[in-house]
Chain A
Amino acid sequence: MRFLFNTSAKRIYRFGNPWCALITFLTLGRLVALAQWPYGSPTTPAAQRNALSVVRSQAGWLDNATRTAPNYGAQGADNVWQQFQALRGTYAALKQTLTPQQAAQGANSLAELDAGLDIIQEVFPNYQDAVASGQPVNSALREMCQVLRQTCAVWLQELNKCCSRLRVGWG
């Protein structure tokens, strides 16, 4: 970091200041693009691509969680729940990046994706019911994770189709 803040009068940098500014801008810009933008979501193709990439990554995390959760019992179920809620959050963020035209054109598909997440979420109360009915926790958790993993894969496939249809991230 020394080169960024060295303001010694004796040292004159060839292209130093403009390049420092450019690199700083690009680096910070990259961070801003990855983080949540607090002033309303931009609807640029780059923002859409980023948001879609985050949803896919989160789906991967959820997939991993469903594979490891049966080894951790109730704690594993909590982790899967959190990862699923995070997936819902990233999907909501993706929807915020859609242009009004895309949102209108894909209203049916988006409603189906919303409904899909609601239906998938039913596995959690089903798991609680199964445990309350006397099914062993590990067995119930394993079944829940299998269903969750497979249904989320179907859901992600539908999301990819929908995004492709709406040309999300194209620009």
Chain B
Amino acid sequence: MRSELWHDSRISIEACSLVRYGIFWSTSVLTAKVFLRPIPQEHQMDWVYGITQTPVKGDNRLFLSGSWGTAASSTACEVAKTRAALSKKGFSSPIFVVFSVTLLMTGFFGCATHDSTSAAHRPGSGVAEYQQITSQAQKAVISALNSLEKVSAHTNNCPPNVRASLANEAQRLQVDSLQIRARAQAIQARGDAYFADWSETLKQIDNPGVREAAERNHSQLEQSFSQIKLASQQAGAAFKPFLSGLRQLHINLDKDASAAGSSSGSDLLKATRDHGQEVLKQLGVITNELHGITRMLTPTKSSSKN
């Protein structure tokens, strides 16, 4: 689904660019064809007075350009007739010049289309989004732990479908946990500045009750953020050995289906499971804190009446 959305977006951008380039170059060529032909010196002021004269047939001294598709054998008369016809249709009028410039500018400066996702984001929707990515990561960790359980049930000879399931869950875990890991890393990197910026977004919320609740519970919100920061750090610290253990188990089992039965294999299995449980526990702490934040930001009846 994600990649489909992404490709749709890319296709629309490509189509837009194609149209822009088409407009730009076709207008450039058309303009050059109409206006960049040499004209005889005696007729150079014709366009000022609106005179369109047809020269004598056979006079091809100055009308031949050859560069823009006019055959070298064309007579001056034919070219001039074409130009006269164009002039009658208004192609050499100032209106056409303005029209051409407008088209050129359109092609040059591009389309002003916007992503349809822009309306989806509202200030303050960050908590719900955080809850969603935490829940997604929790599901991925639980699935990986379940596949570990299946491996531990077949220590003597792990069947291919169980090994494949372990490999798939390890991959899925890497993908589904990307957002929460990135957020945790950003929280660690930015520290208090992260909370300060997030608090700023709360002030932009339309609902005055939520704004008032955010101001009233500012210190509790900050405390919750500190808990989230700590839990994120601990979850990140446990996640790396968890993922590494999963991958190592997968490699060992691919080489030897009974690898989990050896003492080193069972140790690895146990350590990986413990790290997974720790990640799950810390994700639970984050979820609880986020629920607490949601409660704090929910306007009370009295404040919503105001």
Say if A and B assemble together: yes
The residues of A with any CB-CB pair to B shorter than 8 Å are 2-3, 10-16, 19-20, 22-23, 26-27, 29-30, 45-46, 49, 53, 56-57, 59-60, 63, 107-108, 111-116, 118-120, 123, 126, 129-130, 133-135, 139, 143, 146-147, 150-151, 153-158, 160-161, 163-165, 167, 169-171
| B258–chain A nearest beta-carbon distance, Å | 16
> Contact at A14–B179, with CB atoms within 8 Å?
no
Residues of B contacting A60 in the complex (Cβ-Cβ under 8 angstroms): 10
Q: Assuming A14-B39, A118-B185, is B114 touching A19 (CB within 8 A)?
A: no
Mask of B160-194 contacts with A, CB within 8 angstroms, 1/0? 00000001000100110011011101100110011
Looking at the complex, which of B151-159, B222-230, B246-254, B282-290 is the stretch in contact with chain A?
A: B246-254
Looking at the complex, which of B29-37, B74-82, B206-214, B294-302 is the stretch in contact with chain A?
A: B29-37
Majority DSSP secondary structure for residues of A touching B: helix
> Contact at B24–A26, with CB atoms within 8 Å?
yes
Measured in the bound complex, the distance between the Cα atoms of B121 and A164 in whole Å is 9
Measured in the bound complex, the distance between the Cα atoms of B67 and A157 in whole Å is 48
Which of A15, A23, A111 makes the CB contact (< 8 A) with B186? A111
CB-based nearest A residue for B31 = A19
Mask of B74-106 contacts with A, CB within 8 angstroms, 1/0? 000000000000000000100001000100100
> Contact at B41–A115, with CB atoms within 8 Å?
no
Majority DSSP secondary structure for residues of B touching A: helix
| B231–chain A nearest beta-carbon distance, Å | 17
B2 at the interface (CB under 8 A from A): yes
> Contact at A108–B197, with CB atoms within 8 Å?
yes
Q: Assuming A46-B109, A56-B9, is B182 touching A130 (CB within 8 A)?
A: no
Which of B17, B28, B109, B182 makes the CB contact (< 8 A) with A119? B182
> Contact at B108–A26, with CB atoms within 8 Å?
yes
B3 at the interface (CB under 8 A from A): yes
Mask of B1-40 contacts with A, CB within 8 angstroms, 1/0? 0110110011001000100000010001001100111110
Residues of A contacting B175 in the complex (Cβ-Cβ under 8 angstroms): 147, 150-151, 154
> Contact at A56–B10, with CB atoms within 8 Å?
yes
Which of B62, B118, B167, B189 makes the CB contact (< 8 A) with A11? B62
